[in-house]
Amino acid sequence: MPVVNHTLPVPAFLEHTARFIAGPITIGVEYRVLDEATILDYYGPDARAKFPNGAPAGMGAVINEDGLSIHVFGTADGYEYLRFDCFDDAPHYHYLDPPSSRNVVHDYDAVAHGPIVDWAFVALRTRLAEMLTHAGVGDLAATVDQRAIDEVLPAVEAEARRMLSIGHPVAVG
């Protein structure tokens, strides 16, 4: 069962996010650290109250996660609509509706589906328009150019693998 909150997740740190434009969609790749300090810096001292419905399964009471995040933005508006958080302890993905601050988080079952990074790339190749529609942006989904997506995905995947091999945030330029 998904967790629904009305607070968006900590946004991508653009200085650590490589971005790949594919027509109306921009895919971002970021190695991110999500810990208590980051959360408090972004949300302030009442951070926990902003997420009354909880966190993904596997996240401890004290949050200290890191790993790859794959972001899907609208190129024209810059909004993030999908995110795949490929964390070791609590892999999950988000459907985001920025105008309403709706954040639907689905736990990822690695036993059933294998590594989340691999699954995320399959989803981008085969389910992106459907996932965007589910996120509430059917108009954007209707403009997805799968050929453009397919053309950038090898570079996206190479950058993701590079970031994973480094194992910590790196500045992108």
Q: Is residue 1 a contact partner of residue 104, using CB atoms and an 8 Å limit?
A: no
42 backbone dihedrals φ, ψ, rounded to 5°: -80, -45
Residue 12 lies in a domain: yes
Q: Tokens at residue 80, please?
A: 């993030």
Is the residue at 173 inside a domain?
no
Please indicate, yes or no, if residue 37 is contained in any of the structural domains.
yes
Q: Does residue 80 form part of some domain?
A: yes
Residue 137 lies in a domain: yes
Residue 172 lies in a domain: no
- In the chain, how many domains are there? 1
Which pair of tokens denotes residue 156? 């996206």
Q: Which domain holds residue 72?
A: 3-166
- pLDDT by residue (tens digit) across 87-145? 988 999 999 999 999 999 999 999 999 999 999 999 999 999 999 999 999 999 999 99
* Local structure of residue 113 (DSSP, 8 states): H
Give the global pTM.
0.93
Sheet strand arrangement including 25-35: 3-5, 102-107, 92-97, 80-87, 64-74, 25-35, 17-22
> Tens digits of per-residue pLDDT, 76-92?
999 999 999 999 889 99
User: Quick check: is 26 in a domain?
Assistant: yes
Question: Greater confidence, 55 or 103?
Answer: 103
